[in-house]
Structure 1
């Protein structure tokens, strides 16, 4: 992916881009960055893939200072960015926290969303997971914790969330550098401070009312976001569920083919709806 940035409502926002065609926006979670989607977007040359970086994450960690980094507010930032770059409507693809951002954007700004794909996403009351709750409780201390200890803590998340240890090692190398370069403890303290299941619980009743193409892709062995939540999302969204047996949390990195295939199915369904409405 190539990366661009632009000031949007006083915030420097950054995103990766790849391909050409209908817009598809990819939303990452914690503790990752837009590079989470690197193996997915490379498989979708037929789409205009835009991997947006959440405010206060990745290379945009400095932009989080003094700002609301809740999932609900990230949805507002996302829509402001879409408006700024001239995208009226896009398919939203979300993983982990990014899936929560996608749900909120789709329900609160339905005209902006032409399709929805959720993969091992936060939803309902599925989060924050225990390790994030622990960081929330000690967030005042996080800026003072030695970086090597924080790196070990994040490494364990990647090892538990990837199918194989070597893929966890690779992901740690890709995503940790942003924390290392921008004050890991302070960055994590900001990120976890505003995380609350209230944000997804508030929009949960609206999910069955969404009238848009949707897909759910889930690693069935995920210890962080259980498969039962993926099944519930599929029912509420009336969406096909791709169940990846043995797959864990970080599906975009471990199973890019399945995620890309689901995006392709959404693009096809979106095109069919557009043709039917003419």
Structure 2
């Protein structure tokens, strides 16, 4: 799906009670059935899931928000962007949609958000699919630490294109999946000045202290969990998934060969099939 079509079906909702002003969240909401929440990571936005949303929506109500500060959600300098704050916003977001329980499919820092919510609000998380997720002290990676320097708020669109092109070469194993449509769609919100500034703020907010406290409580996260992991990922390596298998009580691992970090694009068909198979037994 091209980015224009994707954007045209996004909705917007105002979330109150977190900061002084309402926070605007852009999101996709399609399909019927049990709610299935898709959470992206950095430096992406919900367009990361553009090829898997419709197949999943044949069986579920699929909701894919842009995290605060990302994509086309609120990008102002008026709020925190940490994964702890993102978890606060997602809880309010689901409440605003009258959803009291959902399956979570979460990638990268979105996985950290999902685990925070699963720990503190377990009834809200029916199950989790964690894909190449942050956990423990596996993050932030060096590239994001560098991006978060305040001077990078003055980057040009050419700088952003160079950053994404370098990341795409590492983040996808299957080079045929690096299409012009995906490339343009992924970087689209960050080719605008406020998008560049917001992306830098997002990178500056990454804090491993928001996942390390979960380590001692992983054995209490009883939600059915699937670790859907690209084997070639050099940023969030499969060794992280192997550790989670040992530490979580109700977890399965599904490694994906010839796939790197951005698995929903790299291996969209296998990602979708494995997710649907898992959810069919997750309750």
TM-score normalised over the length of structure 1? 0.91
Structure 2 counterpart of 1:85: 97
Which 10-residue stretch deviates more, 196-205 or 260-269? 260-269
> CA 1:234–1:40 in 2, change beyond 3 Å: closer, same or farther?
farther
Structure 2 residue 27 is the aligned partner of structure 1 residue 15:
yes
Structure 2 residue 39 is the aligned partner of structure 1 residue 27:
yes
SS where residue 249 of structure 1 aligns?
coil
Structure 2 residue 170 is the aligned partner of structure 1 residue 163:
no
Structure 2 counterpart of 1:249: 261
Which 10-residue stretch deviates more, 248-257 or 235-244? 235-244
Measure how far apart 1:192 and its partner are.
1.1
- For residues 37 and 264 of structure 2, the distance between their equivalents in structure 1, rounded to whole angstroms, comes to 14
1:219-230 paired onto structure 2 within 5 Å: 219-230=230-241
CA deviation string 1:31-82 (max 9, x = no partner): 11111112112222111111111001001252x4221000111011000000
The answer to whether the 8 Å contact 2:145/2:204 transfers is: no
Which structure 1 residue ranges, 5 or more long, are not aligned?
272-278
The count of residues paired between Structure 1 and Structure 2 equals 268
| Equivalent residue in structure 2 for 1:144, among 154, 161, 165 | 154
Structure 1 counterpart of 2:71: 58
Structure 2 residue 136 is the aligned partner of structure 1 residue 124:
yes
Structure 2 residue 217 is the aligned partner of structure 1 residue 206:
yes
Structure 1 counterpart of 2:208: 197
| Equivalent residue in structure 1 for 2:146, among 125, 130, 134 | 134
- For residues 104 and 154 of structure 1, the distance between their equivalents in structure 2, rounded to whole angstroms, comes to 28
| Equivalent residue in structure 1 for 2:185, among 167, 174, 197 | 174
- For residues 266 and 24 of structure 1, the distance between their equivalents in structure 2, rounded to whole angstroms, comes to 13
CA deviation string 1:152-177 (max 9, x = no partner): 01221111101134433543211111
Structure 2 residue 82 is the aligned partner of structure 1 residue 47:
no
Structure 2 counterpart of 1:3: 10
Structure 1 counterpart of 2:82: 70
| Equivalent residue in structure 2 for 1:185, among 161, 174, 196 | 196
The answer to whether the 8 Å contact 2:173/2:266 transfers is: yes
Measure how far apart 1:109 and its partner are.
1.1
SS where residue 39 of structure 1 aligns?
coil
- For residues 193 and 31 of structure 2, the distance between their equivalents in structure 1, rounded to whole angstroms, comes to 30
Structure 2 counterpart of 1:274: none
> CA 1:184–1:5 in 2, change beyond 3 Å: closer, same or farther?
closer
SS where residue 107 of structure 2 aligns?
strand
CA deviation string 1:11-40 (max 9, x = no partner): 111211222111110000111111111211
SS where residue 78 of structure 1 aligns?
helix
- For residues 258 and 210 of structure 1, the distance between their equivalents in structure 2, rounded to whole angstroms, comes to 26
